[in-house]
Chains A and B, each alone.
Chain A
Amino acid sequence: MGNDEEIKISTLGMNCPKPLIETRKALNKMQPNQILVVEGDHRVSLVEIPQAIKDTGHELLSIDDQGTKWVIKIRKVK
């Protein structure tokens, strides 16, 4: 597995707590340094996913809030 490889998941349409769970499930399956791109439209998760990333020690790369939709980029640290 190469570094900087991007893995994309969509949580569009999902409700609490699924976007958080799916993000965590994806991170668990990844190698360190790989990048996870999470797309979604659940507003509370836009706040809760970055907080969970902080809690679990991964690196938040960017948050792109496009209004109805958002995209969060995370680098898996360990």
Chain B
Amino acid sequence: MVEKKTMTILLHSGEMDKAFAAFILATGAAAKGIQTTMFFTFWGLKVVQKGGAQSAKLSNMNMGGLGKMMIKRMMKKKNVASLQELIKDAGELGVRLVACEMTMDLMNVPKESLIPEVKEIGGVGTFLDAAAQSDIHFVF
């Protein structure tokens, strides 16, 4: 029988390239049967707010949006999935997306502003329960 592995990802950055790496790992893991939990805190919460993935900037070479435009054009040309598409795939493949309750309170983010793929709101304890049992852990 195949051994079931688990993974946890903490996304605290709101930049497109970091969120992209996080969601590539999450969807890739789901495809390989690795049960994944993602926790969105601080600037990372913006990525799972409606419209947040679209408006995320690059962490480097953003150049007032010009760099991002160029990267987006290159991604399209090379058939690389967009961040929004990967987020949708993560939801469909059963990746567990958890929004940080404290950040929501701090930044006045209502539940209704989150994308439908986020089915859970939790605190540090919720995430640590998953992280304590996980075989793989990433922070972005």
Q: Which of A's residues lie within 8 Å of B, judged by CB?
A: 13-18, 20-21, 23-25, 28, 51-52, 54-57
Residues of chain B touching chain A, judged by Cβ–Cβ distance below 8 Å, are: 1-2, 24, 27-28, 30-34, 78-81, 89, 92-93
Q: In this complex, which of A21, A28, A57 has the most chain B Cβ atoms within 10 angstroms of its Cβ?
A: A21
**Interfacial chain B residues near A52, Cβ < 8 Å:** 31-33
* Chain B, residue nearest A77 (CB): B2
Q: Is the interface of A mostly helix, strand, loop or mixed?
A: helix
Q: When the two chains form the complex, which single residue of B2, B78, B92 contacts A56, counting CB atoms closer than 8 Å?
A: B2
A-B contact count (CB 8 A): 49
Roughly how many angstroms separate A52 CA and B32 CA in the complex, as a whole number?
Answer: 5
Can you identify 26 A-B contacts, CB atoms within 8 angstroms? Answer: A14-B81, A15-B80, A16-B24, A16-B80, A17-B24, A17-B27, A17-B28, A17-B81, A18-B79, A20-B27, A20-B28, A20-B31, A20-B32, A21-B28, A21-B30, A21-B89, A24-B30, A24-B31, A25-B89, A52-B33, A55-B2, A55-B32, A55-B34, A56-B32, A57-B1, A57-B33
Pair B30/A13 contact, Cβ less than 8 Å: no
Chain A residues with Cβ below 8 Å from B33 are 52, 55-57
Tell me the minimal C-beta distance from A7 to chain B in angstroms. Answer: 17
B78 near A17: Cβ-Cβ < 8 Å = no
Contacts of A25 in B (CB 8 A): 89, 92-93
CB of B67 to closest CB in A, whole Å:
20
What 18 new A-B contacts, CB under 8 Å, besides A16-B24, A18-B81?
A15-B79, A17-B31, A18-B79, A20-B27, A20-B31, A21-B31, A21-B89, A21-B93, A23-B31, A24-B93, A25-B89, A25-B93, A51-B32, A52-B33, A55-B2, A55-B34, A57-B1, A57-B2
Cα distance A24–B28 in the bound complex, in angstroms: 10
Question: In the complex, which residues of chain A have a beta carbon less than 8 angstroms from the beta carbon of B81?
Answer: 14-15, 17-18
Of B1, B32, B81, B89, which is in contact with the most chain A CB atoms at under 10 Å from its CB?
B32
Cβ-closest chain A residue relative to B1: A57
